[in-house]
Amino acid sequence: MTHPAHHGWLRDPAPVDLGPRLATVSAHRRLRGPYTAAGAVVRLLVPGLLAGRPDLVRAHDLEILAAAPELAAVVDSHRETLTSTADPKSRTRYYPHAHTTRIAHGLTDLLRDATAGTPGLTLVIEHVEHADRTDLDWLGIMLRRIAPERLRIVLSCRGELPEPLAAAVAAHAVRLTDAPGPEVEVQLPADPDAVRDLADRYVSGDCVDDDPLTLAAYRALPEVERARLHDARAAELDARDEVSLRLGALIHHRLHGTDPEAGLDALDFALEHLAMRGFYDALLEQGALLCGLADWEHHHDRRWLATTKMATALSVMARADEALALYDAACAASAAPSVQMQAAYGRAMLYTRYFEPGRRDLTLARAWINNAITIASGAPDHRRRAYNLTFNENGLALIAMHLGDPAEALRLVEAGLDRLAAELSPAERGQHPSVLQYNRAQLISRMGRHEQAVADYTDVIAADPNHSDYYFERAALLRRLGRAAEALADYDTLIALALPYPESHYNRGDLRAELGDLAGALADFDRVLDLDPEFVDAYVNRAALRYETGDPRGAAADVDAGLALAPDQPQLLCQRALLASDDGRVDAALADLLAAVATEPALTGAWVNLGILCFERGEPAEAVRYFDRALELEDDPEVRENRELASATLAGARG
């Protein structure tokens, strides 16, 4: 049969002919939490890939283990960092909110490559309305990036399509059926054993069954019988010892079983995993559950650990007001020094970096961090005192940097490194020395000591060689120092280590273009726009390269796409002017160049091209004026020649 050239969605898992299927999986987050659907697909594909495409598994080890952590039994992770392996108790660095989007891109690459030899298959995802944000992002990215001829994605959703998936569905999928399922009259069997069997089926399916009969049977059972069914199912899932089950179904069954403490323990485990992996939407959902069950009086430490994890997540997610409210509530509920200290640090960071710029307040931030430092200084145990004091003074260093005092920031960071080395064993220091060394390298770079900063980044890389951010920073410095080959090598390493994100390819593409590798640069800009079709600067650079390599049609397409996103982008206006000039549309070219310099008056090339066009159309006076403006910005012999020619022509016309 001919494979439909579109992705699709439908309201019910109706009997629609979808052709050969890769799989049908559920996205209901109650099953396995984050990446419930992606994990199901990964668990299906990985055994075959290990046998036939082990290189593909190795290239996507991080993404595979993020979506299906239980596959660690068969998939080795080759890109672990000090952050990913840190003990939760000493973890000082957390993933950005975009981390899960990068995972989703990696999973999309994996699925696209894994199905390359079997086009025409369909992947059906059910229960999309109940998906975790991680799956919603992944599904939206797949709809955009995977051609339906390669793999058709069909989504089933009984409720409203949630954002951000709804926008992707509107742009990249068509509705397959509007036919609602038939109304089902629910009538329970008269036999109590039959009712119990139906209820057992509902619980054994982890309570996501859409069959109204099984749900009615479950609700008909006495609460104590339901709890026993949940206990039995929890025991089955616990015996499987799969991490992702502990992020979804096992929590649900423990919370509805006979042992309330077991439910809280299940939430404790999940919150720690979610915080360490950067699964912040799920963390907030499960954290709210725990806070509703564990009060400050009887579960003080448990409640604080949940609160601080939620506040960290909210900060990273740009929801600073909500994070501040959590810190305030915690400090009102607890007088524990550790709570007061950590909340003070958290507030300081909100006012330093997480509030929108207009609401940042470095004076208030410094007041809060001084509170944290005072509390840390009073810790009776010298090891805990050294660690906490160093951690909080690192926050003060960040504030000092923002206040324009990098020397003081550097002093604080180096004092912290000395203190950790003097008072703590390597195991007790955790990842914190590498964080401080990284901060020192950044500060030294800001102070203009680029050679020393490169050396510091090299030391940081030696301690944590798989942390891709360090290569990103060092590459930029190496390029600034004229060490282009070394910078390119760092970008290559960065891209091999990192989850996919556009900036790494953009920077490498820009450097490749500078070095004359136009094909490599074009490939990088292609990758940027595959990952982020709204990356305007990539359209700017790719349009210029396409024009330079004899592809005016491709250049025009990039100009149009870029200007649709940023109508006043001056480089794109200049590029469109070149294309118009080549086609003999001089008036259009002049209009675009004038619009470009109105937006960016220091754009030398636009003034030069204005002068050339005016000279060519017999307007030497205007040409001289434009060449003069260009020469004010940048003295250039060729422009001076053009200016002299235009001036001579003007003099001749007047003579």
Higher pLDDT, 30 or 16: 30
| 144 and 247 co-located in one domain | no
| 22 and 150 co-located in one domain | yes
Q: What gap in Å lies between CA 546 and CA 132, rounded to an integer?
A: 40
pLDDT category of residue 183 using cuts at 50, 70 and 90: low
Q: Give the pLDDT confidence score for residue 410 in this predicted structure.
A: 98
Overall average pLDDT of the 599-621 stretch: 95
**Does 557 have pLDDT greater than 70?**
yes
If DSSP codes are grouped into helix, strand and coil, which group holds residue 156?
Answer: strand
Kindly state whether residue 464 falls inside one of the protein's structural domains. Answer: no
Q: Give the pLDDT confidence score for residue 644 in this predicted structure.
A: 94
Structural domain including 163 reads: 7-177
| 103 and 172 co-located in one domain | yes
- 567-577 pLDDT, tens digit per residue, is 999 999 999 99
- 218-227 pLDDT, tens digit per residue, is 999 999 999 9
Q: Give the pLDDT confidence score for residue 184 in this predicted structure.
A: 67
Q: Indicate the number of domains in the chain.
A: 2
Kindly state whether residue 315 falls inside one of the protein's structural domains. Answer: no
Q: How many CA atoms lie within 13 A of 135 on its CB side?
A: 32
φ and ψ of 180, to 5 deg: -70, 150
Overall average pLDDT of the 168-179 stretch: 87
Kindly state whether residue 69 falls inside one of the protein's structural domains. Answer: yes
pLDDT category of residue 116 using cuts at 50, 70 and 90: very high
| 21 and 51 co-located in one domain | yes
Query: Residues of the chain with pLDDT > 90: what percent?
Result: 89
Query: Residues of the chain with pLDDT > 70: what percent?
Result: 97
Q: At which of 253, 275, 293 does a domain end?
A: 293
Range of lowest pLDDT (17-26, 341-350, 381-390, 395-404): 17-26
**Does 598 have pLDDT greater than 80?**
yes
Kindly state whether residue 350 falls inside one of the protein's structural domains. Answer: no
Q: Give the pLDDT confidence score for residue 185 in this predicted structure.
A: 78
| 100 and 232 co-located in one domain | no
* Of the candidates 157, 258, 251, 249, the residue with the CA atom closest to the CA atom of residue 203: 249
**Does 1 have pLDDT greater than 60?**
no
If DSSP codes are grouped into helix, strand and coil, which group holds residue 497?
Answer: helix
pLDDT category of residue 178 using cuts at 50, 70 and 90: low
Kindly state whether residue 117 falls inside one of the protein's structural domains. Answer: yes
Range of lowest pLDDT (83-92, 232-241, 439-448): 83-92
Overall average pLDDT of the 241-267 stretch: 97
561, amino acid identity: A
Overall average pLDDT of the 458-485 stretch: 97
Q: Give the pLDDT confidence score for residue 2 in this predicted structure.
A: 44
Higher pLDDT, 86 or 451: 451
Full 3-state SS string of 27-48: CCHHHHCCCHHHHHHHHHHHHH
Contact 151, 121 (CB under 8 A): yes
Our measurement of the distance from residue 265's CA atom to the centroid of its chain's CA atoms, rounded to an integer in Å, reads 29
| 74 and 152 co-located in one domain | yes
Q: At which of 293, 320, 337 does a domain end?
A: 293
The per-residue pLDDT of the chain, averaged, comes to 95
CATH number at residue 61: 3.40.50
**Does 90 have pLDDT greater than 90?**
no
Kindly state whether residue 451 falls inside one of the protein's structural domains. Answer: no
Its pTM stands at: 0.94
Kindly state whether residue 514 falls inside one of the protein's structural domains. Answer: no
| Strand arrangement, sheet containing 173-177 | 21-26, 121-126, 151-156, 7-10, 173-177
| 162 and 228 co-located in one domain | no
Kindly state whether residue 154 falls inside one of the protein's structural domains. Answer: yes
199 Cβ contact partners less than 8 Å away, ≥ 6 residues apart: 214, 217, 218, 220, 221, 225, 226, 229
- 510-541 pLDDT, tens digit per residue, is 999 999 999 999 999 999 999 999 999 999 99
| 37 and 158 co-located in one domain | yes
| 43 and 108 co-located in one domain | yes
Q: What count of residues does the chain have? A: 655
* Of the candidates 127, 51, 42, 137, the residue with the CA atom closest to the CA atom of residue 99: 137
- 360-419 pLDDT, tens digit per residue, is 999 999 999 999 999 999 999 999 999 999 999 999 999 999 999 999 999 999 999 999
| 241 and 122 co-located in one domain | no
**Does 3 have pLDDT greater than 90?**
no
| 149 and 216 co-located in one domain | no
| 170 and 199 co-located in one domain | no
Q: At which of 263, 293, 323 does a domain end?
A: 293
Q: What gap in Å lies between CA 351 and CA 405, rounded to an integer?
A: 17
